[in-house]
Structure 1
Amino acid sequence: MEPAAPLACVIIDDNEINRFTLERAVQRHDQLTLAASFPDALEALTYFHAGGEVDVLLLDIEMPHINGLELVKLLPEPKPAVILVTTHASFAVDAFELHVLDYLVKPVNYARFCQAIARVSVPKPPVAPAPAPAISTPVAPNDLSATGTDLFVKTNGKLLRINFEDVLFIEALSTYVVLVTDKYKHIVGGTLKSMEERLPFRHFVRVHRSYIVNLHRVEALEDNLLKLGQHEVPVSRPYQDELIQRLQAL
Structure 2
Amino acid sequence: MPTSFACVIVDDNEINRLTLEHMVELTPELNLAASLPGSLEALQYFRQGGKADLLLLDIEMPHLTGLELARLLPQPAPPVIMVTTHRDFAVDAFELQVVDYLVKPIDLPRFTQAVARVLNRQRTLPATSTPDAPTEAVNSELFIKVGTKMLRLNFDEVLFIEAMSTYSILVTGTQKHIVYLTLKALAERLPFAHFVRAHRSYIVNTQRIDAVEDNMLQLGKYEVPVGKSYQDEFYRHLRGL
TM-score class normalised by the smaller sequence: 0.5 to 0.7
Tell me what 1:135 maps to: none
- Contact persistence 1:92–1:103 (CA under 8 A): no
- Contact persistence 2:93–2:145 (CA under 8 A): no
Tell me what 1:13 maps to: 11
Over residues 80-115 of structure 1, what are the superposed CA-to-partner deviations in whole Å (9 max), with x where a residue is unaligned?
000000111232543454211111100111111111
Query: What SS does the corresponding residue of 2:210 show, helix, strand or coil?
Result: helix
Over residues 147-200 of structure 1, what are the superposed CA-to-partner deviations in whole Å (9 max), with x where a residue is unaligned?
xxxxxxxxxxxxxxxxxxxxxxxx9546xx544xxxxx55366x647xxxxxxx
Q: Aligned partners of 1:120 and 1:243: how far apart in 2? A: 35
Query: Amino acid of the residue matched to residue 231 of structure 1?
Result: L
CA shift for structure 1 position 15:
0.4
CA shift for structure 1 position 230:
3.2
Query: Amino acid of the residue matched to residue 156 of structure 2?
Result: R
- Contact persistence 2:55–2:78 (CA under 8 A): yes
Unaligned runs of 5+ in 2: 125-139, 169-181, 196-204, 225-241
Tell me what 1:242 maps to: 210
- Contact persistence 1:172–1:178 (CA under 8 A): no
CA shift for structure 1 position 241:
3.6
Q: Aligned partners of 2:141 and 2:33: how far apart in 1? A: 30
Equivalent residue pairs, number: 174
Tell me what 1:141 maps to: none
TM-score of the pair, normalised by structure 2: 0.61
Q: Structure 1 pair 188/61, CA: closer, same or farther in 2 (3 Å)?
A: closer
Tell me what 1:104 maps to: 102
RMSD, aligned α-carbons: 3.3
Q: Structure 1 pair 210/121, CA: closer, same or farther in 2 (3 Å)?
A: farther
CA shift for structure 1 position 213:
3.1
Query: Amino acid of the residue matched to residue 15 of structure 2?
Result: I
> Given the alignment, which residue of 228, 232, 238 partners 2:183?
228
Q: Structure 1 pair 211/8, CA: closer, same or farther in 2 (3 Å)?
A: farther
Query: What SS does the corresponding residue of 1:22 show, helix, strand or coil?
Result: helix
- Contact persistence 1:93–1:187 (CA under 8 A): no
CA shift for structure 1 position 52:
0.7
CA shift for structure 1 position 53:
1.8
Query: Amino acid of the residue matched to residue 73 of structure 2?
Result: L
Q: Structure 1 pair 97/4, CA: closer, same or farther in 2 (3 Å)?
A: closer
Q: Aligned partners of 1:210 and 1:8: how far apart in 2? A: 32
Tell me what 1:213 maps to: 160
Unaligned runs of 5+ in 1: 126-170, 180-184, 194-207, 219-226
Q: Aligned partners of 1:98 and 1:78: how far apart in 2? A: 12
TM-score of the pair, normalised by structure 1: 0.59
CA shift for structure 1 position 209:
2.6
Q: Structure 1 pair 121/19, CA: closer, same or farther in 2 (3 Å)?
A: same
